Structure 1
Amino acid sequence: MFQSYDGLCGIGELAERAGVTVKTVRFYSDNGLLPEASRSAGGHRRYGPDSLERLRMIRSLRTMDLPVPTVRRILDEDDTAGRAGGALEDAVAGQLRTLGSQLRALRWREAALRSVQESPAAERAGRLRLIGTVAAPPSTAPLARFWRGWLPPRMPAGAVTAFLEVAVPQPPDDPEPGQVLAFAGLCAMVTGPCDGDEPTQPHAHRTAGARASAVLYAGLAEAYDLAGIEMRQDRGPGPGDALDGFVDAYASARNTADTPDFRRALAQRLAADPRIDRYWELTAELVSPPGGRPEPTPGTAHDWLLAALESQSVPR
Structure 2
Amino acid sequence: MASVKFNNLKKSYGDTEVVKGVDLDIKHGEFVVLLGPSGCGKSTTLRMLAGLEDISDGEIYIDDLLVNDLHPIERNIAMVFQSYALYPHMTVEENIGFALENMKVDKAKRKEMVAEVAEVLELTPLLDRKPKDLSGGQRQRVAMGRAMVRTPEVFLFDEPLSNLDAKLRGAMRKEIKALHKRVQTTVIYVTHDQVEAMTLADRIVILNNGVIEQVGTPKEIFEKPRTKFVAKFIGSPEINIMPSTEHDFVSCLPHSIDTNTVESIGIRPQDFTLTENDVDATHRCSAKVDVIGHEVLGSVIHVNGLLGSKRITIETPYQEEDLDDHINVYFDSRNVHYFDENQSITLL
Q: Which has the higher contact order (CA 8 A, sep 6+)?
A: 2
Q: Which has the higher helix share?
A: 1
Shorter-chain TM-score bucket reads under 0.3
Considering fraction of residues, name the structure with more strand: 2
- TM-score, structure 2 normalization: 0.22
TM-score by length of 1: 0.23
